[in-house]
Structure 1
Amino acid sequence: MNDTADLVRFWRQQRGMSQARLAELAGTGQAAISRIESGRDLPTLTLLDRIASALDCQLTVAFTSGSGQIPPSA
């Protein structure tokens, strides 16, 4: 599993929403939500933003290195 899959499933269930309803609100298909929740597919940022909005959540994106440190500028 991955964090995206776990978070989408968690918030969908917290909202009492079916995959089909989330898909409808996010403008995608139920199969896409199923693939995301199972970890078989990663959504684009655009789709993830629509999913977050449908779940009444805020999407925050952060870039980090494996060490958590910002690389030196070139």
Structure 2
Amino acid sequence: MNHARWKLAREKALAEGYVEPPEVAAERAEIRLAMAFAKAVYDRRTELGLSQAEVAERSGLTQAKVSRIEGAGSVPTLPLLRRLALAMNASLNIALDADREEVTFIAHPAA
């Protein structure tokens, strides 16, 4: 089943009164957060015209770690978030809600 069909089936089940178990909801929220962060890192990196290797060098990470982050394969720690934000000359904003995760890098003004 593709993602669109799965999402429609899930929405239909929820509309019919299906209650998702808390552990499933928590796992879904963690996945959404990893995906939102992955997209924000990728978008900022490409906006700057940097390769994964260049971001890795700037942040003191390996290229493989940057790749895992962009592939939503890991949720970084707070110190790592700071290192990535500094490496990409931006502030990192994260908004978390019950059903929404928003992650954005805000570019620092040119000096």
Whichever residue aligns with residue 98 of structure 2, its letter is: G
Give the number of the structure whose residues are more often helix, by fraction: 2
Look up the match of 1:38.
Answer: 71
Aligned residues: percent identity? 39
After superposition, the CA RMSD in angstroms is 1.9
The alignment's TM-score, normalised by the length of structure 1, stands at 0.79
Q: How does 1:1-74 map to 2 (within 5 A)?
A: 2-62=35-95, 64-66=96-98
Q: Larger Cα Rg: Structure 1 or Structure 2?
A: 2
**Which protein has greater RCO, CA pairs closer than 8 Å, 6+ apart?**
1
Whole-Å Cα distance in 2 between the matches of residues 10 and 65 of structure 1? 22
**Structure 2 unaligned runs (5+)?**
1-33, 101-111
Q: Which runs of 4+ in 1 moved over 4 A?
A: none
The alignment's TM-score, normalised by the length of structure 2, stands at 0.54
How many positions carry a matched residue from both structures? 67
